[in-house]
Structure 1
């Protein structure tokens, strides 16, 4: 009876959608279709068990993701479904975020578990140390796990990733060649910076698997590459340039000040820093930071996306000025779509590594739902170039 009441409530909410359309097949075979006056995403959802909508009403999209992992619902295109949900969030009445109790508990848990150095290492290990082989199955040959920049549909993913690296290096043109990369991943940017622009790169990571891979990869480049298994908070000397590509999202709000203060200390006077980061829409930041979501619950524990306004505030407080902002969210949707397509093609290889069906479904949800968030405009990705204000 409780599940049926929840189903009825959700179906009533869907009558108020303002954009796109959705077809829902309930577990008992009944099909409901809703179409808004304004064109938009056209989603299809098949619910396999009676508790799915109840779980989502209570636990938000994190519960929805867990139910997808368990096979309790299916969808032809999760990215389209998420795009639809975000474009109609007013009509859905906060359904994606779950109950107020759930949001409050998530916020309290986050306050009790700050992203200290030890916890940061644990969080990074949970995500990045799944194995270099796992990531190599669906990333492009540069092993780049961040948004590409495409000049056209014919660009390969590798071309897009190198174009992203080149844009950052172009912004650093004229700066000293001594470069610090905070969050160096598997060494793709460092390799490009050294081999193509003759930089000397000190790369930081707290993932042992990434550090080992990057050191082996960059060994032919000799002393120009120095990969360190260190946290960004460790004291260091000054550098002519600093680059940080999609690492800031993992820092945690409590340490945003520490992050920018460390940049202030380590960037030479006259030097430049370029930060590539995902950001959430300003209008939704407060509700997002106080609640939980599938990505923070299940994929990236300890992280938090900034809003552009909060980024600007942190930059100014630390004594920097913004020289340039480049936004390219649609490119991230395309990047994620390509990752997912390759992930699906490599499913048998992923299974051969020992990952089960639930893991594969969860990662499909992660990649596709992030694509939907970028399509809807709820999230964006940007490169921010900063210098000392004085």
Structure 2
């Protein structure tokens, strides 16, 4: 089985272990590359036969990667690369007491794990993105629904009371805690609204509603909010939450693609939605932002970013995250945002980076998710689904903890309108 169905809750999600002469050859190559790579990483990789690999593997403590089935692990990696590595975790071919720590060690060396000569063969050896990753209007709603329409009740299990599914902004990132998370999410939202100049009477467009917290906080300032989403389940709960807060008259939420929005707005805000646009659609996305922004207005985006060179190298490769978590998604670089904006009248006015805060946000979500197994099972999500999401949350945390990924609040406007 090569893809997930929209209503899948777990079960038989994983493809079978590759077999045959070609698979065996690729597995041997993957095993050699893996052993070569981990030999210089600060991890302790334990094999069933007692072999231990890793730089300083005899020292303690080091993140432990426990390999249960090396044959299956290397067959999957040899066939699918990093997709196979993630599938191996889901299948139980390897495990770890702290998977985020193991993955952080790998993420810190991601550009040096594979020899340069083989990196150039990425498009030949690894799967290409499916047609659904084009980011067209026809594809977009199905891709969004695949993730965000899983279950509002499932997200309620590990998100804080604000139901905010994006990076928080802590007053002290070193002291990040569950008790501080809701306030940190509000702080993040308020900073974005401030950056966009949202106040009483502002006409605000939000692209990507989430579960409505930004709508509520903008309406509390006296703004008139138009929010669009492609998630039916988020739409339902967001409307309920806005009404419960007493702002139903000032907030209009609808199921609508950003490309179909009309009118002009004094402020446009969007939190971690550009990642779902897809790189082919970035020119269209920024052209629509420019067209919808009223004279003198500002745009404030929160975006996850990756290094530009890595972005260019991976944009034609299908990834584990795209296959299992965010079909059609792709992270921009800072340079890509600036280049796409420069094709319009918009320019980047300021950037605020806070990647370490996302690492802690993800840690808190992951820890809470791991404690909610009985409730997840009661909702119909089995052990396979839980392992997929454990890997997703740990994999994402590792990206930010290693510095490979960043999150930014980016403000754009038309310079001639803001002397």
TM-score scaled by length of structure 1: 0.91
* Contact 1:279-1:380 at 8 Å conserved across structures: yes
1:78 corresponds to which residue?
99
Following superposition, the deviation at residue 24 of structure 1 comes to 1.1
* Contact 2:296-2:414 at 8 Å conserved across structures: yes
Q: Name the CA distance, whole Å, in 2 between partners of 1:73 and 1:87.
A: 20
Residue aligned with 1:369, SS = helix
Which residues of 2 match residues 73-222 of structure 1 at below 5 A?
73-93=94-114, 100=122, 105-107=127-129, 109-110=130-131, 113-152=133-172, 153=175, 156-173=180-197, 177-195=202-220, 197-219=221-243, 220-222=246-248
Indicate the larger mover: 211-220 or 131-140. 211-220
Q: Name the CA distance, whole Å, in 2 between partners of 1:259 and 1:9.
A: 40
Residue aligned with 1:144, SS = coil
Which residues of 2 match residues 5-24 of structure 1 at below 5 A?
6-15=30-39, 17=40, 20-24=41-45
Q: Name the CA distance, whole Å, in 2 between partners of 1:194 and 1:29.
A: 61
2:341 corresponds to which residue?
315
Following superposition, the deviation at residue 9 of structure 1 comes to 4.1
**Which protein has the bigger strand share?**
1
Which residues of 2 match residues 57-76 of structure 1 at below 5 A?
57-76=78-97
Which residues of 2 match residues 225-244 of structure 1 at below 5 A?
225-244=251-270
* Contact 1:59-1:98 at 8 Å conserved across structures: no
Q: Which of 56, 61, 70 is the aligned partner of 2:77?
A: 56
Following superposition, the deviation at residue 242 of structure 1 comes to 0.4
* Contact 1:97-1:292 at 8 Å conserved across structures: no
Following superposition, the deviation at residue 51 of structure 1 comes to 2.1
* Contact 1:328-1:382 at 8 Å conserved across structures: yes
Q: What whole-Å deviation, never above 9, does each CA across 1:192-215 have from its counterpart, x for those lacking one?
A: 1112x1211111001110111111
2:21 corresponds to which residue?
none
* Contact 1:178-1:241 at 8 Å conserved across structures: yes
Following superposition, the deviation at residue 356 of structure 1 comes to 0.6
Q: Name the CA distance, whole Å, in 2 between partners of 1:326 and 1:367.
A: 23
1:289–1:35 CA distance, 2 compared to 1 (3 A) = farther
Following superposition, the deviation at residue 298 of structure 1 comes to 1.2
Which residues of 2 match residues 319-330 of structure 1 at below 5 A?
319-330=345-356
Following superposition, the deviation at residue 55 of structure 1 comes to 1.9
Indicate the larger mover: 152-161 or 305-314. 152-161
Indicate the larger mover: 22-31 or 145-154. 22-31
TM-score scaled by length of structure 2: 0.85
1:346 corresponds to which residue?
372
1:280 corresponds to which residue?
306
Following superposition, the deviation at residue 44 of structure 1 comes to 1.5
Indicate the larger mover: 325-334 or 342-351. 342-351
* Contact 1:180-1:242 at 8 Å conserved across structures: yes
Q: Please tell me the root mean square deviation across aligned C-alpha atoms, in Å.
A: 2.4
Indicate the larger mover: 54-63 or 342-351. 54-63
Q: Number of residue pairs matched?
A: 381
Indicate the larger mover: 260-269 or 164-173. 164-173
Which residues of 2 match residues 22-37 of structure 1 at below 5 A?
22-35=43-56
Q: Name the CA distance, whole Å, in 2 between partners of 1:65 and 1:187.
A: 32
Q: Name the CA distance, whole Å, in 1 between partners of 2:125 and 2:317.
A: 4
Q: Name the CA distance, whole Å, in 1 between partners of 2:259 and 2:29.
A: 51
